[in-house]
Amino acid sequence: MAVPTEEQLADRARFVFRGTVESARAPHARDVPSTAATVRVDEVVQGPAKLMMFAGREVFVIPCPRERFRAGERAIFYTNALVFGDTLTLESVGHRPLAAGTIGVRSTSHPASALRTRDVQKRLATADLVVVGRVAAVRLPPASRRAPARTKPAPPVSEHDPEWRDAVIDVERVAKGSSGRKQVIVRFPASHDVRWFRAPKLSAGDEGVFILHRTGALEAAPASGARAVSAPSAPVFTALHPQDVQPADMQDDIAALLQRARSTRGTTAPARPARSTRSVKTTGRKAGRRRRSPR
Amino acid sequence: MARTRVRRPRRSRRRRARPASANIALVNMIPRSLSGETEQDSEPSIAVDSDNPQRIMATAFTPDPMGTGYAPVYASSDGGQTWALRSTVPSQNITGDITIGFGGGGRLYGGILKVPGGLLLNLLRTTNPFATAPMTVIGSRSNVDQPFVRAHKSGTRDRVYVGNNDLGATGGRTATIDLSLSGASSSPRFKKVRLERRSTGSAGQNGPQVRPAVHPDGTVYAAFYGWRAFSSTKRVTSDVVVVRDDKGGDSAKPFTALTDPADHLPGRLIAKNIAFVWDARLGNNRLGGDLSIAVDPTDSDIVYVAWAALDANVYTLHLRRSTDRGATWSANDLRTKASATNPALAVNSRGAVAFLYQRVTGSGASQRWVTTVEQSADGGRTWQSNVLANVPAASPAPQFQPYIGDYIGMTGVGTDFFGIFSANNSPDLANFPNGVVYQRNHDFWTRRLFDVDGTTEVAVSIDPFFFRVRG
């Protein structure tokens, strides 16, 4: 079986760190399997913001099949969390020993940012269309607009009503896919219910990079609130994942990620520059926040 | 190379108030390894393994700290003294709704609204909730709201009841129970039972709260809101309906054992033409009706129901009792609580009833959420009241709705009551008159929270709290 590359390991692991095996065994503790090793996190390479504070702390790592840890061993550990208890128990997907004298990992980005980039990469991979643009208007989906004002919500009523809205995006550049139009419509939930609050909320004037997926049955036939939505004039997409709307100043980074994906797939055709349909505007609000610091 | 010094967290000065009542234990459930978390961990539910009450599982709207394709559950194997989080629920990062219940043999059942998916009901099961393997999907249906799970062991089989609002039902009669009398089998079959027998009028549906209560002798009650009208101002007019089945839901005409004396239709109307406003607010938390029901494990004739309705435009909880299997009900409220929500009822093995609720006091920025558990050992004539938490209601700012939950949870096992609620987590002992234990890093003297490093201050947020009241 081929040994996974570091990139493949990092892709399967949410928490990557440089660490030192303190003990090949974990102390007897609740929720900690006897197979776990005690590892000190020396430096976090990739991980969610919540785990940044584990630098300098001990965690328990359960080796994957046929993986062995030696006391004193220094390595890059590729892991996922299993149990958050009094301490953190991780499950290894692999580790790469560090040569003696290696000081550490020179990461070019913040660990949380590295993980976020990886998440954006995954969204880009499945996206039908990626555009740079500006929200020209936000309106109710067409059939909802035809409903008389001040009527009760159409049944059924649910606390999870997504409250669909259509954002009309003026497309400045297409980074992936083809819309064939200068405008696309992004259907998004305006609701702040737990089911929908993480989905990007768009307002007129927002500028950004929109990572779009075609609407499914879910968005085409809302569970409640709006009536069945008739086909609008421009193509309709969704941006439901928190990473689906990126700040406009991320467009070069996004282009680089798309380029890298093409290269990885072995595309022989040279990557085309993003197609421009409009001049880039400098006014308007930035969609999303550029998260330079981890959440 | 120089070794990185492992910094021990500054040991929190774990000042602990002398419990006002030695019978009450209260625990902030966020584990120490998640000391930095500031999520809105609202709408909790709890399940206690009746075979071994040391084993307790709980849920809340806590997202997976790793941001994976699974949502977490809380687990305690020491009777609720300590808790750990593990992501075993097959739903992307978080659920849209979740409740759980223990069957026999340590089996745990769950009902969730799965993410992604609009109103996608998934019924779940695991034979070992303390393992880290994902729960198994044993049922699925779309267009369903607020699954509410109750399970009960029945020999080697489990009886599983999932109250839900099936918005795909025809004729606007959406109050539904999905039930299985063989939940432990390899492929359990679920039967869908419609509960509403009357017209839902201009509402065209029932309310989302459909709550079952299960007795070991085969008696099963359920309470639901029989919506009758929904106005343009979102004002709901409704009846409160109780149904019963005497064969575990396996009767020829399930859940028709109780009829109303006025129209002789199945379903006793214990409150008629009550009203409330859909999606109104109480102390930052949305409102849309509240229901809880509990049956006395010592006598299935005795059943309690709590519901919410507007009284003189004030959202108010009412508690009543029946001693004749739901046929007649106490003429007056056993308890009436204004400006309160999230009722939860349970009855212990001595027949004592406990009533848990969250009430807003004060006004404006000085509003407080006061979580109280009241107990009565004499059928509701006298009550002993204990405030579990009295916390600021205006902070932190809401991240989403529900702020503290559309429901909370409590159950009776043996003589004890086990419950869960969500509240502001300021580590201020004055907020917890019966004492509290925090797992996450904190300092009760300075009333501050700290991250895993023990020094970085963490903002206040909404946390789940477990409690146990010894009977």
- Total residues found in chain B within this entry: 471
| ipTM of the complex, rounded to two decimals | 0.94
For residue B278, what are its two tokens? Answer: 């859909």
Answer yes or no: do A56 and B4 touch at CB < 8 A.
yes
What confidence score (pLDDT) does residue A235 get?
81
pLDDT band at A99 (very low <50, low <70, confident <90, very high): confident
What confidence score (pLDDT) does residue A1 get?
64
Indicate the pTM of the whole model.
0.92
pLDDT at A129 exceeding the cut of 90: yes
Answer yes or no: do A30 and B453 touch at CB < 8 A.
no
Measured between beta carbons, which residues in chain A are less than 8 angstroms from residue B132? 82-83, 91
For residue B154, what are its two tokens? Answer: 């029945």
- Segments in A149-225 forming alpha helices (H): 217-220
Distance of alpha carbon B131 from alpha carbon B126, whole angstroms:
9
For residue A225, what are its two tokens? Answer: 């609130």
CATH 1.20.120.1200 fits A6-107, yes or no: no
Name the residue facing B31 among A85, A158, A160 (closest C-beta).
A85
- Mean per-residue pLDDT, A216-229: 50
What confidence score (pLDDT) does residue A155 get?
60
Distance of alpha carbon A159 from alpha carbon B113, whole angstroms:
12
C-beta neighbour count of A273 within 10 angstroms: 10
Interface of B with A in 68-127 (CB under 8 A): 68, 72, 77-78, 82-87, 94, 96-97, 113, 115-119
**Structure confidence by residue, pLDDT tens digits, A237-273:** 999 999 999 999 999 999 999 998 888 765 444 333 3
A163 vs A230, residue with greater confidence? A163
Interface of B with A in 383-402 (CB under 8 A): 398-402
For residue A186, what are its two tokens? Answer: 């992004």
pLDDT band at A274 (very low <50, low <70, confident <90, very high): very low
Answer yes or no: do A157 and B232 touch at CB < 8 A.
no
**Structure confidence by residue, pLDDT tens digits, A169-182:** 999 999 999 878 89
What confidence score (pLDDT) does residue A266 get?
57
- Which of A17, A84, A86 is best to mutate for the B interface (most B CBs within 10 A)? A84
Which amino acid, A186? V
Answer yes or no: do A158 and B165 touch at CB < 8 A.
yes
What confidence score (pLDDT) does residue B3 get?
43
Structural contact between residues B331 and B394, judged by C-beta atoms closer than 8 angstroms: no
Computed on alpha carbons and rounded to an integer, the radius of gyration of chain A in Å comes to 23
Structural contact between residues A89 and A31, judged by C-beta atoms closer than 8 angstroms: yes
What confidence score (pLDDT) does residue A154 get?
61
pLDDT band at A128 (very low <50, low <70, confident <90, very high): very high
What is the separation of C-alpha A161 from the centre of its chain, rounded to a whole number of angstroms? 24
pLDDT at A193 exceeding the cut of 80: yes
Nearest-by-CA chain B residue for A30: B77
- B24-469 is classed in which CATH architecture? 6 Propeller (2.120)
Measured between beta carbons, which residues in chain B are less than 8 angstroms from residue A197? 399-401
For chain B, which residues make up each domain, given as ranges?
24-469
pLDDT band at A27 (very low <50, low <70, confident <90, very high): confident
Measured between beta carbons, which residues in chain B are less than 8 angstroms from residue A157? 203, 205, 230, 278
What confidence score (pLDDT) does residue B360 get?
98
For chain A, which residues make up each domain, given as ranges?
6-107, 117-147+155-276
Three-class SS of residue B382?
A: coil
Q: What is the dihedral of CA A218, A224, A230, A231, to 10 degrees?
A: -30
Structural contact between residues B242 and B268, judged by C-beta atoms closer than 8 angstroms: yes
Across the A/B interface, how many CB contacts are shorter than 8 Å? 155
Residue with structure tokens 């900690």?
A32
Nearest-by-CA chain B residue for A48: B66
The fold of the A117-147+155-276 domain, in CATH, is OB fold (Dihydrolipoamide Acetyltransferase, E2P) (2.40.50)
Q: Which residues of chain B fall below pLDDT 50?
A: 1-9, 11, 14, 17-18
Average pLDDT, chain A: 82
Name the residue facing A159 among B1, B35, B286 (closest C-beta).
B286
What confidence score (pLDDT) does residue A102 get?
66
pLDDT band at A230 (very low <50, low <70, confident <90, very high): very low
What confidence score (pLDDT) does residue A293 get?
37
The C-alpha angle B64, B70, B74, rounded to 5 degrees, equals 60
What confidence score (pLDDT) does residue A26 get?
81
- How close A274 comes to chain B (CA, Å)? 31
pLDDT band at A22 (very low <50, low <70, confident <90, very high): very high
pLDDT at A149 exceeding the cut of 60: no
Name the residue facing A192 among B65, B205, B400 (closest C-beta).
B400
Q: Does A6-107 match A117-147+155-276 in CATH topology?
A: yes
Distance of alpha carbon A90 from alpha carbon B72, whole angstroms:
15
pLDDT at A54 exceeding the cut of 90: yes
Name the residue facing B84 among A20, A83, A101 (closest C-beta).
A83
- A8, containing H or E segment: helix A6-12
What confidence score (pLDDT) does residue B4 get?
41
Answer yes or no: do A85 and B84 touch at CB < 8 A.
yes
Answer yes or no: do A160 and B453 touch at CB < 8 A.
no
What confidence score (pLDDT) does residue B26 get?
98
Name the residue facing A53 among B97, B288, B451 (closest C-beta).
B451
pLDDT band at A142 (very low <50, low <70, confident <90, very high): confident
Answer yes or no: do B6 and A40 touch at CB < 8 A.
yes
Structural contact between residues B243 and B267, judged by C-beta atoms closer than 8 angstroms: yes
Listed residue (B308, B317, B281) closest to A159, CA to CA: B281
Using a CB–CB cutoff of 8 Å, tell me whether B174 touches chain A: yes
Answer yes or no: do A84 and B31 touch at CB < 8 A.
yes
- Which of B61, B119, B458 is best to mutate for the A interface (most A CBs within 10 A)? B119
What confidence score (pLDDT) does residue A219 get?
62
